[in-house]
Amino acid sequence: MKKDSKLSSVLHVLLHMAHSGQPLTSEQLAAFLHTNAVVVRRMLAGLRELGYVDSVKGHGGGWSITCDLKQVTLRDIYDAVGTPSVFAMGHRVEDPQCLVEQAVNQALDEAFRDAEALLIERLSDVTLADLSDDFNRRFRIQSQA
């Protein structure tokens, strides 16, 4: 299964935006991701609607962060990019008549449900500010080397 990297990508550009004093254009953000500007606009459209970022057209325009990094968690961003499906495994048939398949589905569902809940909990524990701090730490270490 081809993996969805929207969450990873959005977080990446958000941090670049956070560390830039001025708006960044879709082209600039796309360069960070080695991709196309249209992909960036699509990715960020949802976040703009939710008020996490803003975009400005024309000269000097571009994207900037409009939320408090300390208040927004990775879980919020996960939701903002459309709560992509967590697991790469699924049931063969979603609502089977077969009693055997019902038993299998339920057993798997329980395991997946618990794992997903833990994932969401972990994502809720990390704010964008935490990520930003981690980046700054890495930057200091690399500068010393």
Partner DNA sequence: TTTTCATGTAACAAACAATAGTACATGAAA
Partner DNA sequence: TTTCATGTACTATTGTTTGTTACATGAAAA
Site for DNA in 17-36 (CB under 7 A): 25-27, 33-36
Q: Is residue 42 at the binding interface for a copy of itself, with CB under 8 A as the rule?
A: no
Q: Is residue 116 at the binding interface for DNA, with CB under 7 A as the rule?
A: no
Q: Which position among 95, 99, 144, 145 is part of the footprint of a copy of itself (CB under 8 A)?
A: 99
Distances, alpha carbon 20 to alpha carbons 116, 136, 141, 144, in Å: 34, 13, 20, 22
Residue 42 is which amino acid?
A: R
Handedness of CA 91, 94, 97, 102 (dihedral sign): positive
Residue labelled with tokens 């459209």 = 45
Q: Is residue 65 at the binding interface for a copy of itself, with CB under 8 A as the rule?
A: no
Q: Which does 130 bind (CB under 5 to 8 A by kind): DNA, a copy of itself, none?
A: a copy of itself
Tokens of 105: 């589905």
Q: Which does 50 bind (CB under 5 to 8 A by kind): DNA, a copy of itself, none?
A: none
For the CB of residue 74, give the shortest distance to a copy of itself in the complex, in Å.
7
Q: What angle do the packed helices 6-18 and 37-49 form, to 10 degrees?
A: 80
How far is 56 from 66, CA to CA, in rounded Å?
A: 12
Q: Is residue 57 at the binding interface for a copy of itself, with CB under 8 A as the rule?
A: no
Residue labelled with tokens 């325009």 = 61
Q: Coil, strand, or helix at residue 6?
A: helix
State phi, psi for 8 to the nearest 5 degrees.
-55, -45
Residues that bind DNA (CB under 7 A): 1-6, 9, 25-27, 33-39, 41-42, 44-45, 48, 55-63, 84-85, 88, 92
Residues that bind a copy of itself (CB under 8 A): 1-9, 11-12, 15-16, 19, 32-34, 74, 84-93, 98-108, 110-112, 114-116, 118-119, 122-123, 126, 130-131, 134-135, 138-139, 142
